[in-house]
């Protein structure tokens, strides 16, 4: 039976460490790190993600600045707000919750955030840094996957990692992180043939597909580390991953559950990125 790796517990331990770091800053009378979060419109899912991010900041003692804009805001107004945040000396990290309402250009928004404050790691400069194996900001969910592997005691070097999914948000950056960590990486997607045959050769299997319970035992090599990024809601309203947990547990060596797996790690990595941005900015002064 697989060992179940609770992202929620790892996230708690990492947040505790961050809280201690922030508390020390406060005791030394230093400036407190700050994350600015822009939300445009009232998409309920986005609103709940943004609230979760604010709460997480609050829990570890870092400041958050929530900027909630009407869905009717113009592109130029939004860009102006980002320019102010880029220049604001108190702001370390900036993120704009995606997707944006129709009519707004998210690519332009992403490019307008200073790469030094781009804690989501979506700016092309940070994307390039990841692909050049240079230090920059890496998207939070892929970073969380790497932390989970670390927690499992798995060094990707020399291992065969199969990533199912190639999005810019998850699949592509996690594949690159694994390659940078010297794994042999196979990326699969919707046109991949014989997916189960390929996936079942993986020592490390990352599922980032968005298809409820698609990955059954047949896709898993005996003893593999399985990280389930997927978040899907069943017709009954239950949250499930891309991996069929019960079936996968019979083959995997390690597995992350949904919920309480990758999800809590994503926000934790956002906090890590904000602290990293803070440290880098403080060092420069």
CB of 167 to ligand NDP, least distance (A): 3
Residue from 38, 206, 229, 275 that binds ligand NDP (CB under 6 A)?
Answer: 229
| Active site annotation includes 235 | no
| Active site annotation includes 53 | yes
Q: Which helix (H) or strand (E) segment is 8 a member of?
A: helix 7-27
| Residue 48 lies near ligand NDP (rule: CB under 6 A) | no
Q: Is 91 or 170 the residue whose CB approaches ligand NDP more closely?
A: 170
Torsion over CA: 139, 145, 146, 147 (sign): positive
DSSP label at 121?
Answer: -
* Cβ 110 vs Cβ 122: under 8 Å: yes
The number of CA neighbours under 13 Å toward the Cβ of 139 is 21
Stretch binding ligand NDP (CB under 6 A), from 16-24, 27-35, 109-117, 159-167:
159-167
Q: Is 25 or 145 the residue whose CB approaches ligand NDP more closely?
A: 145
| Residue 97 lies near ligand NDP (rule: CB under 6 A) | no
Residues 6+ apart with CB under 8 A from 227: 145, 148, 149, 204, 205, 206, 207, 256, 261, 262
**How far apart (Å, rounded) are the C-alpha atoms in residues 136 and 148?**
20
| Residue 101 lies near ligand NDP (rule: CB under 6 A) | no
| Residue 209 lies near ligand NDP (rule: CB under 6 A) | yes
Q: Is 121 or 263 the residue whose CB approaches ligand NDP more closely?
A: 263
Q: Is 63 or 231 the residue whose CB approaches ligand NDP more closely?
A: 231
**How far apart (Å, rounded) are the C-alpha atoms in residues 163 and 185?**
7
| Residue 232 lies near ligand NDP (rule: CB under 6 A) | yes
**How far apart (Å, rounded) are the C-alpha atoms in residues 198 and 213?**
18
| Active site annotation includes 120 | yes
CB of 236 to ligand NDP, least distance (A): 17
| Residue 189 lies near ligand NDP (rule: CB under 6 A) | yes
CB atoms within 10 A of CB 206: 34
Residues 6+ apart with CB under 8 A from 124: 110, 111
| Residue 188 lies near ligand NDP (rule: CB under 6 A) | yes
Residue from 64, 126, 256, 266 that binds ligand NDP (CB under 6 A)?
Answer: 266
Stretch binding ligand NDP (CB under 6 A), from 40-48, 75-83, 158-166, 197-205:
158-166
CB of 231 to ligand NDP, least distance (A): 4
**How far apart (Å, rounded) are the C-alpha atoms in residues 261 and 53?**
17
**How far apart (Å, rounded) are the C-alpha atoms in residues 163 and 12?**
26
Catalytically active residues are 53, 97, 120
Interface ranges with ligand NDP (CB under 6 A): 141, 164-167, 169-171, 188-192, 195, 208-211, 229-232, 262-263, 266
């Amino acid at each position: 039976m697989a060992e179940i790796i609770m992202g929620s517990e790892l996230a708690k331990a990492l947040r505790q460490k961050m809280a201690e770091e922030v508390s020390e800053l406060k005791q030394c009378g230093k400036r407190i790190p700050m994350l600015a979060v822009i939300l445009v419109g009232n998409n309920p899912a986005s609103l709940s993600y943004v609230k979760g991010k604010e709460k997480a900041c609050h829990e570890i003692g870092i400041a958050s600045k929530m900027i909630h804009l009407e869905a009717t805001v113009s592109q130029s107004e939004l860009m102006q707000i980002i320019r102010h945040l880029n220049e604001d000396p108190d702001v370390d990290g900036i993120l704009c919750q995606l997707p944006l309402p129709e009519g707004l250009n998210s690519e332009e928004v992403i490019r307008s955030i200073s790469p030094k404050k781009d804690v989501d790691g979506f700016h092309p400069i940070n994307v390039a840094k990841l692909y050049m194996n240079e230090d920059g900001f890496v998207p939070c969910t892929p970073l969380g996957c790497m932390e989970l592997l670390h927690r499992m005691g798995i060094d990707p070097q020399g291992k065969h990692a199969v990533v199912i999914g190639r999005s810019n948000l998850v699949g592509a950056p996690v594949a690159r992180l694994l390659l940078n960590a010297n794994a042999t990486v196979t990326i699969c997607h919707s046109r991949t043939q014989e997916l189960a045959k390929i996936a079942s050769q993986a020592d490390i299997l990352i599922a980032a597909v968005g298809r409820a319970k698609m990955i059954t035992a047949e896709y898993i090599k005996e003893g593999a580390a399985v990280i389930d990024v997927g978040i899907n809601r069943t017709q009954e309203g239950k949250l499930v991953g891309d991996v069929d947990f019960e079936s996968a547990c019979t083959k995997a060596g390690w597995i992350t559950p949904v919920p309480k797996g990758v999800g809590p790690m994503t926000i934790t990595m956002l906090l890590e990125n904000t602290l990293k941005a803070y440290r880098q900015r403080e060092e420069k002064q």
